[in-house]
């Protein structure tokens, strides 16, 4: 499972099986077109993986002699990345909660109910927000590095590395999301797999990390369920206000965030309207049909009707199941509507590009055209999987190159972990394994700003490896000088 080539086969066989026989009935899925696309994508990934393994073995043989990074350089990089990541999410929080004029979390919930309002609501932004946005992802790198090298990191630096988890968690809480936390969960699992591949224990000993990881996953499960329920209730309560905002959007260019916050406060302060007179099971079935165009399979519905499964538990389970598996249908829909998509060159996947284009290049039509194409295809707001995301961003030929590069990085990192003491391959392997786990949802650079996470891990690894190579070069030069003087 620590081999990307094996993991991607296991993950996609499992997902296709879950869609075919799972508790949610996706009509006609997985289709023959979906199966062919998945098979082609997995094959390309494995081809690129083989090329990456060969390249590291052929081109980087001399790196096998590079010594492991010193404790000093490891500790310096860990504390630096931890502080940068925590500081980054702190800047985002300060701008978001204090300077932006939006003082409640209802704004984030509102945009999840009606994402089309994002250009309509004017938010005050400062340079602090953009600095924080570019640096908070170093919290991922700090935690991953600690999980890989925890035996060599002790004391308050180890505590700082573990505290860096507030970076993804804080980002998720600020925007009422789940993906940043899910990403850090799979990063932890991926780091465990890398350690196993290196012949070590699951996690570094001496920090109670296994207990902490279990508690964190349980808290995430509780949070995920709570945020889904809260979002559903909020969207239902705000339905009238959203219609009013949509109407105002058609009448004027924009609306101040303070006005929207006032409307949210006034609406949520009202007592909730009485629910319709229908059984909770009927309401759940109606919601699934209207919102997702699916229904439970007969065996799951039987369990609900018999009382073995409560409607509340069924709703939570089905919503999570849909969240993680509906991308199979989206791949099929993307393929059928492929003629209407133009290339977007990363704007679809890389989350920070869209707001940059909206704020600094308002005349650019790329984001608006992309949204129109997604809506026309019926996939706006849904997860496209790695295959659909690659096609939407880069087209047919570009997506082939993209998947080959993804596989190449996977093979290069695997070979680097096996053949050398370099840190960059191990960090890259953690990222690649995490991206494979989440590939049924999004592409490797499209998961909760994972493009920035990848960049932070590359910078972290290169800094450590450069220091090791410099130290080795200095040591070799000193030995040569000593040898000359002796002779």
pLDDT higher than 80, residue 22: yes
Mean pLDDT of 252-268: 69
Say what the pLDDT of residue 483 is: 52
pLDDT by residue (tens digit) across 349-403? 988 788 788 777 878 888 889 988 998 998 988 899 999 999 999 999 999 999 9
Return the number of other C-beta atoms located less than 10 Å from residue 346's C-beta.
Answer: 16
Say what the pLDDT of residue 141 is: 96
* pTM reported for the whole predicted model: 0.89
Say what the pLDDT of residue 278 is: 45
Least confident of 43-52, 99-108, 324-333: 99-108
pLDDT by residue (tens digit) across 391-425? 999 999 999 999 999 999 999 999 999 888 889 99
pLDDT higher than 80, residue 273: no
- pLDDT above 70: percentage of residues in the chain: 87
Say what the pLDDT of residue 108 is: 75
Say what the pLDDT of residue 480 is: 46
pLDDT higher than 50, residue 112: yes
Say what the pLDDT of residue 268 is: 67
Say what the pLDDT of residue 364 is: 81
Say what the pLDDT of residue 433 is: 97
What is the pairing mode between strands 24-25 and 295-296? Answer: antiparallel
pLDDT by residue (tens digit) across 30-84? 999 999 999 999 999 999 999 999 998 877 766 556 777 888 889 999 999 999 9
């Amino acid at each position: 499972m620590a081999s990307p080539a094996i993991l991607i086969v296991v993950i996609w066989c499992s997902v296709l099986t879950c869609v075919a026989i799972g508790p949610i009935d996706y009509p006609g899925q997985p289709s023959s077109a979906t199966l062919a696309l998945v098979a082609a994508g997995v094959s390309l990934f494995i081809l690129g993986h083989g090329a990456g393994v060969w390249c590291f073995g052929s081109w980087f043989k001399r790196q096998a002699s590079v010594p492991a990074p010193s404790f000093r350089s490891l500790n310096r990089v860990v504390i630096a990345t931890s502080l940068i990541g925590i500081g980054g999410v702190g800047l985002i929080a300060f701008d978001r909660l204090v300077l932006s004029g939006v003082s409640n979390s209802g704004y984030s919930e509102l945009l999840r109910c009606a994402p089309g309002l994002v250009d309509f609501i004017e938010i005050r932004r400062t340079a602090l927000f953009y600095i924080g946005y570019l640096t908070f992802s170093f919290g991922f790198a700090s935690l991953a590095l600690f999980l890989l090298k925890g035996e060599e990191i002790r004391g308050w630096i180890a505590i700082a590395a573990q505290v860096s988890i507030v970076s993804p968690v804080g980002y998720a809480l600020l925007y009422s999301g789940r993906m940043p936390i899910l990403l850090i969960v799979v990063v932890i699992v991926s780091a465990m797999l890398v350690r196993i591949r290196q012949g070590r224990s699951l996690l570094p000993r001496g920090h109670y990390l296994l207990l902490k990881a279990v508690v964190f996953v349980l808290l995430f499960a509780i949070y995920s369920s709570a945020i889904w329920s809260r979002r559903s209730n909020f969207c239902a309560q705000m339905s009238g206000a959203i219609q009013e905002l949509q109407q105002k959007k058609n009448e004027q260019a924009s609306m101040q965030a303070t006005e929207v916050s006032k409307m949210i406060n006034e609406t949520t302060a009202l007592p909730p309207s009485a629910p319709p007179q229908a059984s909770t099971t009927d309401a759940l079935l109606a919601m699934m049909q209207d919102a997702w165009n699916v229904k439970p399979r007969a065996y799951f519905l039987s369990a609900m009707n018999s009382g073995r499964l409560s409607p509340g538990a069924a709703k939570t389970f089905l919503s999570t199941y849909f969240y993680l598996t509906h991308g199979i249908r989206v791949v099929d829909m993307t393929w059928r509507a492929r003629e209407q998509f133009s290339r977007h060159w990363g704007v679809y996947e890389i989350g920070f590009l869209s707001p940059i284009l909206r704020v600094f290049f308002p005349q650019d039509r790329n984001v608006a055209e992309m949204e129109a194409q997604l809506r026309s295809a019926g996939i706006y707001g849904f997860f496209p999987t790695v295959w659909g995301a690659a096609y939407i961003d880069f087209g047919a030929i570009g997506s082939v190159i993209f998947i080959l590069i993804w596989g190449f990085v996977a093979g290069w990192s695997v070979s680097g972990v096996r053949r050398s003491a370099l840190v960059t391959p191990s960090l890259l392997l953690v990222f690649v394994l995490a991206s494979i786990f989440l590939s049924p949802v999004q592409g490797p650079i499209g998961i909760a700003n994972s493009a920035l996470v990848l960049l932070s891990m590359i910078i972290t690894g290169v800094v450590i490896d450069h220091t090791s190579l410099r130290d080795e070069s200095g040591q070799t030069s000193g030995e040569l000088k000593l040898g000359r003087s002796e002779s």
